[in-house]
Amino acid sequence: MEAPPVTIHLLACFHTQLKQTFSGCAFSGKSLRFSKMMHLIPNYRVVEYSNAGSESEADEKVVMLNEDEFKQFYPPQKPHEFHGSYATIGERGWPLFNARLIMALRDHIQPGDIIGHQFGRAHQQIPSLFPNNVNVELGIGYQDKPFGCFRIFESEAWKHYHFGMCDQDPLLKNDRGMNRIYSFVAPNYFDLDDWPYFGPEQNEDYVIFMGRITPEKGMQTLVEIIRADEGKTRFVFAGQGNFDELIAKQIIRKPNPFVGGVKAQVEFVGPVYGRDRAALVGKARCMFSGTNFVEPFCGSAVESMLTGTPALGSPFGAFTETINHGLTGYRCHTLGDWLAAIDASKYLNRKTVSDIARSKYSLEAIAPLYDAAFRQIADLSAEGWYSRASHHIPKRRREYGFVLRRV
């Protein structure tokens, strides 16, 4: 007799829509791709609670804010503004979204169903309102305290960062989100159709930055690189943020003792959405990802490598897992490292870069990691830790009907 489907109730972001025009929001992108990924594993059903206009492949979509309401609460933003500025709990559309979410869950949910939290504490009261359900944070990519959910982190580095932080707060050790055995890692996942391979013959030889143009994303480092480069290399910026203040004006400031005359080839193209991003990234020599905080994942670096473009990242955080130093990119410490890496990236094998990234971060590669986490959490309703079933050690490579590619 075939087992009933496992139902996941996906709580999408309250301040965006699940469509390509919001591809700059990592959490919205993950929500958009989540249903398609879970459909690769037999017996999963996704009920999605999102704003009107969702382009996902969810089995059922429950609309929280209709088109008119969404436009009223979240009007279009200018290029220098951030979608994240609207992500304020308690303001704008959040109260209405949250009130409707609670009522909709009561209408749709069954005991034992999984409630998937995609955006941290946005709906932190849900676990206490639905104690007969399994609450899981589906991809920790934010610095946040646990609130009664099991947790799936975007990288090992980020998981251990949280463990270390919570060790300083004894009250958090009893939260199930800090359970060392039942915390998991599943990297961000990507639809390979969105990120085709670009070979060396398509390379237009520029350094690309794509993301939030903010100090914490390494803008000061990039300014120093551009000044030291003295106009030899073209740099292209794509994303939301104040380019004039953080980049243009900084490049032309008075030279310091270590830099000669200021010369630069710099272009700002603003925010780029959907599949247009792939061509912009895929034709670059390399991607700059000089984040100066502990990066949970940095999807743009992986998106770059999917197309074959090497990624240059900081020597800490998720880059220690996503960038294979000297093979798919470089991790840099000093100005000399960054300059050398920009030059050396020209000689990396783009096909190898792409093949490795595609084997590690495709929907097909990540779906089994979520399935294993859900299965192990489900064991807690029976034998728990003493269960003899292993969900993380596959018995055979074709267990899910497709080849699990390992690098």
Look at residue 405 in the predicted model and tell me its pLDDT: 46
User: Which ranges of 323-407 does DSSP label H, i.e. alpha helix?
Assistant: 335-344, 350-361, 363-378
Is residue 407 a part of any domain in this protein?
Answer: no
Give how many domains the chain has, as a whole number: 2
SS3 for 23?
A: coil
Do the domain assignments include residue 184?
Answer: yes
Half-sphere exposure in the Cβ direction for 54 (13 Å, CA)? 32
- pLDDT attached to residue 252: 80
In whole angstroms, give the CA distance from residue 214 to residue 20. 22
β-partners of residue 330 are: 312
Kindly state the percentage of the chain with pLDDT values over 70: 94
Q: Would you state the pLDDT for residue 256?
A: 56
Confidence bin at 396 (pLDDT 50/70/90): low
| 26 and 138, same domain (yes or no) | yes
Query: Comparing 64-68, 124-128, 380-384, which segment has the lowest mean pLDDT?
Result: 380-384
Q: Do residues 237 and 111 share a domain?
A: no
State mean pLDDT over 375-393: 89
Q: Tokens 């064991």 map to which residue?
A: 379
**Is 293 domain-assigned?**
yes
Mean pLDDT computed over 287-314: 97
The boundaries of the domain holding residue 371 are 6-189+363-386
Where in 242-374 does DSSP place strands (E)? 265-270, 286-289, 311-313, 329-331
Q: Inform me whether the pLDDT recorded for 80 exceeds 50.
A: yes
Q: Are residues 371 and 272 in the same domain?
A: no
- Are 84 and 127 found together in one domain? yes
Tally Cβ neighbours within 10 Å of residue 105.
21
Residues 122 and 67 in one domain: yes
Q: In this structure, is residue 402 part of a structural domain?
A: no
Q: Which of residues 328 and 85 earns the better pLDDT score?
A: 328
Question: Using CA atoms, how far apart are residues 239 and 323, in angstroms rounded to an integer?
Answer: 22
Residue 315 predicted with pLDDT over 50? yes
Asked if residue 45 belongs to a domain, the reply is yes
The residue ranking higher by pLDDT, 402 or 12, is 12
Residue 401 lies in a domain: no
Query: For position 36, which CATH number holds?
Result: 3.40.50
Separation CA 184–CA 386 (nearest Å): 18
* Assigned domain for 1 exists: no
Residue 203 lies in a domain: yes
285 plus 348 within the same structural domain = yes
Query: Are 236 and 148 in a shared domain?
Result: no
Q: In what order do the strands lie in the sheet with 207-210?
A: 265-270, 234-238, 207-210, 286-289, 311-313, 329-331
Q: What is the pLDDT of residues 191-234, one digit of tens each?
A: 999 999 999 999 999 999 999 999 999 999 999 999 999 899 99
Residue 267, CB-side half-sphere exposure with 13 Å CA sphere: 9
What is the C-alpha separation between 159 and 315, in angstroms, rounded? Answer: 17
CA gap 317, 29 in Å, rounded: 21
Q: What is the CATH number of the domain that holds 224?
A: 3.40.50.2000
Query: Do 41 and 20 lie in a common domain?
Result: yes
pTM metric for this prediction: 0.92
- What does DSSP assign to residue 318? T
Tell me the CA end-to-end span of the chain in Å, nearest whole number: 37
